[in-house]
Amino acid sequence: MAETNSQVSLDSAFIRPEQIRAGLRKVERRQWWLWSTTVLVLLLLTVGVASFAFPAMLAREQSTYSFYLNQSVRALVGIVLLFTVYLIYQQTLLMRMRRQLADQIESLAKVESLASEVFKLAALDQLTGLYNRRSGEQRLEQEMSRAQRHGRPLTILLLDVDGLKLINDAHGHAAGDLTLRSFADRLQRAIRGSDLGVRLGGDEFMVLLPECRAEEVRHVLGRLDGLEIQYNSQKIRCQFSCGWTDYRAGETSQELLKRADEALYANKRSGKKLAVGLQPSPIPV
């Protein structure tokens, strides 16, 4: 429901960048016209004054010269007054256009903010900030297609936070949520910018590792190991199980996830805590 309301607001407030660019071009044209008109009027004033005074200067008569000069001054004052009114009108239009552009830019900023909120609602997990299951599965299909097309390796890593129910029972759900957020934050900092961290739901996480070697997987796991969370003056040790496997050309995403899931549960059944650099062996298919 929130996503639908945000989408409606996004559509109603939408301002195309072309509208802003057109408004800027209009302001530039009006400013250019204003400056051109100013120069033209100054030239006309100069010519007008000269045309009024020049005949009297040729006649060399004081009375005639005074008459023409008086007429020149009056004409000059009249033209200046008219031009001043014109300038005030043009400046008013420019100010109005600038306010409209400012409103459009503000609307565009609101659209970007709304788009960001819609993206967060649609693609991100609200608790951890990682990508949600739907976005992760879509990205997995894209990475598999890229790996198939270019013949590049793709590794999928599944992680499961151990004992989350015990943490909730012993310390409350707030402690469990803090554990998940802290683990997700550590996971996000442990992977590369080209990797993708996903919360599948509950205490389950997935990481997509394009072009990742086995030692790089162990490096990610090593950075996750040893996480301790401070909650109400108590330390909660966050442990996890993991399983990973490489994409095989031609298999489906369900088959790839199934093999990674089997590797994860093989690690859980072994009852061994993960040590830095230890790689759980996936069950062969």
10-residue averages of pLDDT along the chain (285 residues): 44 58 70 72 68 57 60 70 75 77 76 73 89 94 93 93 92 94 95 94 95 85 90 89 91 93 87 40 37
- Contact predicate 156/244, CB 8 Å: yes
**Contact, 93 vs 112, CB < 8 A?**
no
Which amino acid is residue 261, in one-letter code? D
Q: Are 191 and 210 in contact (CB under 8 A)?
A: no
pTM of the predicted model as reported, rounded to 2 decimal places: 0.60
The residues spanned by each domain of the chain are 2-123, 133-270
**First-last CA distance in the chain:** 43
CATH of domain 133-270: 3.30.70.270
d(CA 90, CA 240): 70
Separation of alpha carbons 124 and 178, rounded Å = 17
- For 166-221, how does the pLDDT look when each residue is reduced to its tens digit (9 = 90+)? 999 999 999 999 999 999 999 999 999 999 999 999 999 999 999 988 778 988 99
Alpha-carbon distance values, 225 to 14, 222, 267, 268 (Å): 46, 5, 15, 16
